[in-house]
Amino acid sequence: MTDAVKGVTAQPVKYEDGQYRRSRLDRLKARALKTSKEARNVFQEEKAKEYKANIPGLTDKQANACAKNTTKNERAAAVVDDRMVYIDKAEMEAAEKAMPDREHVYLDPDKKFDAKVRRIIADNPEDFYVNGKFSSDQYKRRLGQYTGFDNKANLDEVKTAASDYGVGKRTIRRAMKRAGYEREADLTWLYKSLAALGVLGAGAGVGAIVGADFTSNVYGIHNNGSNELLDTIHTSNAVGVGALRGLLASVIPAIALAAVVKDNGGKDIFNGNTAEEIVAKGEKNIETRISGEKNQKIMKSILKMENISDEDKAFILQLAYGELTGKKVNDRELMAAYEIAKFCNEHPEINPKDYDKLPGTTPGDDDDDDDDTVVVTPVPTPVPTPGDDDDDDDNDGGNVNVTPALCELSIGKNEGVKVHDYYVRAGVKGKDKQGNEIIQGDNPYNIVMGKYKRADGKAMSHADIMALRNEIFGKNKGLKQGNIQLPDTKTVNGVDYVYKDGKVDLGTVAKVKLNYFKPIKYQGDSYKVQDCSNNVLVDGLSSQQKAEEEAQKIAKENPNKYIFLKP
């Protein structure tokens, strides 16, 4: 670990602008991760070996996945570390001369969203000022308390920050971008459809509830499992319990199903548990509280670190997923927690609550415990790619006075959704217990009950079935006869569900007009072209070859900006 911080006590650490770091790596090595694919590959290979040796039971595949997440975290941290933000133009111009190796960004009051960010700063000086003066370091650190140490603003984190400051989510995304943090795909294009249409009376639908007085919530459901309440409709009808039992007498909303997006913040691997709950219960039944075998092994390793108290372990988890946001944590944030915990365990003289106040390391004094003979040539910081956010108000070139390096394009793969075909039955004649002729057919509730189970092995409750039904089909939907596709896995409210080959019972169908479910077409594998900051330039390509051709085309058309080395 770094000799530079071994003598630091548990007292609060002061820092000046330009000294605060998200990363514990040597700055030159961290910068190499931004633009050099070779440097990232070497770093990832070394980390995979380290994790395989130090985390009990980790497979080679799991070690590589952990190393990949840490590499992403460090690469994102390097961007933040080199970013300097200003509200005073003269101060920025002076800093450009004093620190030419940094990236200098001015919050321009003449730009719409910059002006909104400046208003947040002006209204909340306690969050962004140090000793009565705006601090770039404090600005980055404050926003980092929302993103956590994956250094990426996910949907739930953006939403929380927007709520805290009373502004729109686009303004927060702008603030995050200026600080250098990655941002999850814009929320506005996650919605595929939203319907709040319906009619009153018996013809509205069949069998979803008993009675006729209820409140209906309309949700937008995102690809990462989170949802947002969009509208609430309440209606009352005193009729409906007797002969109309089971019929809907209210406005029937359709669930807003999210479009499949390629960039998401990752699901909540803590299954709704808080950091305190995870630590307090230790390894007992950890399989039901943390999703994924790999993540369980990482958490067990953190729990076994002897030089950190349980209270500090819980704080480290909060630090990793963002102290100012909720309790959701993704796998990148868990790897960040492991790195922070390992650092603090090896440096018991440092209070974990001071970890995010420590200055960064200096060149040649990193945490490798080797002779530091490796020399990495510093790479100029690239200018931000125009058009990589949702502001649409300027070209976002910023005021960056750094010679741009060629940005290496890469090919990414979007894994398709595994599905199972199901044939919906309808118009099946039968008889009830009294011998009366009835018409039967499949309904969403029975399909979910017969074809899904909880991944944790617990029995599915009525609430589970309803939640999963609403996620897949939407509320109060009927089914037409024919083929549909059922996803292999789904996560709803932090619970994982998996497909099973079970029997589906038919239900009785009334002769009323139904609000039919429109079968979803799940996307197969596709490919994308990304720049060196992981911004997606082209998406939805059908093959790797087409993606490579597109990358070559982009590099050829922008020879002073991009380079593409065929993998």
Q: What is the pLDDT of residue 82?
A: 92
Segment 220-230, tens digit of pLDDT: 444 445 555 54
Is there a domain that residue 372 lies in? Answer: yes
Is there a domain that residue 299 lies in? Answer: yes
Q: What is the pLDDT of residue 513?
A: 58
CA dihedral 543, 544, 550, 556 (to 10 degrees): -160
CA distance 128 to 157: 18
Closest alpha carbon to 540 in 555, 529, 551: 529
Contact 494, 278 (CB under 8 A): no
Main-chain dihedrals φ then ψ at residue 297, nearest 5 degrees: -65, -40
Is there a domain that residue 170 lies in? Answer: yes
Q: Are residues 136 and 122 in the same domain?
A: yes
Last residue of a domain, one of 405, 434, 468: 405
Contact 455, 414 (CB under 8 A): no
Q: Are residues 97 and 160 in the same domain?
A: yes
Q: Are residues 323 and 175 in the same domain?
A: yes
DSSP assignment of 285-316 equals THHHHS-SHHHHHHHHHHHT-TTS-HHHHHHH
Contact 231, 218 (CB under 8 A): yes
Burial of 462 (0-12, 13-18, 19+ CB in 10 A): exposed
Q: Are residues 382 and 437 in the same domain?
A: no
Q: Are residues 300 and 231 in the same domain?
A: no
Domain of 159 in residue numbering reads as: 3-188+264-405
Is there a domain that residue 216 lies in? Answer: yes
Flag the least confident range among 339-343, 376-380, 495-499.
Answer: 376-380
pTM over cut 0.85 = no
Mean pLDDT in the chain? 76
Q: Are residues 351 and 391 in the same domain?
A: yes
Q: Are residues 133 and 30 in the same domain?
A: yes
Contact 469, 221 (CB under 8 A): no
Query: What confidence tier does 174 reach under pLDDT thresholds 50, 70, 90?
Result: very high
Amino acid of residue 337: A
The alpha helices in 410-494, defined as continuous H runs, are 444-451, 462-472
Number of domains in the chain: 3
CA dihedral 524, 529, 535, 536 (to 10 degrees): -40
Region 2-7 average pLDDT: 30
Closest alpha carbon to 338 in 58, 532, 533, 82: 58
Give Rg (Cα) of the chain.
27
Is there a domain that residue 513 lies in? Answer: no
Is there a domain that residue 385 lies in? Answer: yes
Q: Are residues 381 and 274 in the same domain?
A: yes
Q: Are residues 274 and 386 in the same domain?
A: yes
Query: What confidence tier does 566 reach under pLDDT thresholds 50, 70, 90?
Result: low
42, 334, 342, 437, 529 from 298: Cα distances, Å? 22, 8, 11, 59, 31
Q: In angstroms, how far is CA 271 from the centroid of its own chain?
A: 14
Is there a domain that residue 529 lies in? Answer: yes
pLDDT winner (highest mean) among 200-209, 324-333, 504-513, 523-532: 523-532
Q: Are residues 183 and 206 in the same domain?
A: no
Q: Are residues 226 and 179 in the same domain?
A: no
Is there a domain that residue 193 lies in? Answer: no
Q: Are residues 22 and 168 in the same domain?
A: yes
Last residue of a domain, one of 405, 425, 458: 405
Q: What is the pLDDT of residue 132?
A: 92
Last residue of a domain, one of 479, 508, 537: 508
Q: What is the pLDDT of residue 512?
A: 55
Quote the tokens at residue 357: 């106040």
Quote the tokens at residue 564: 């593409």
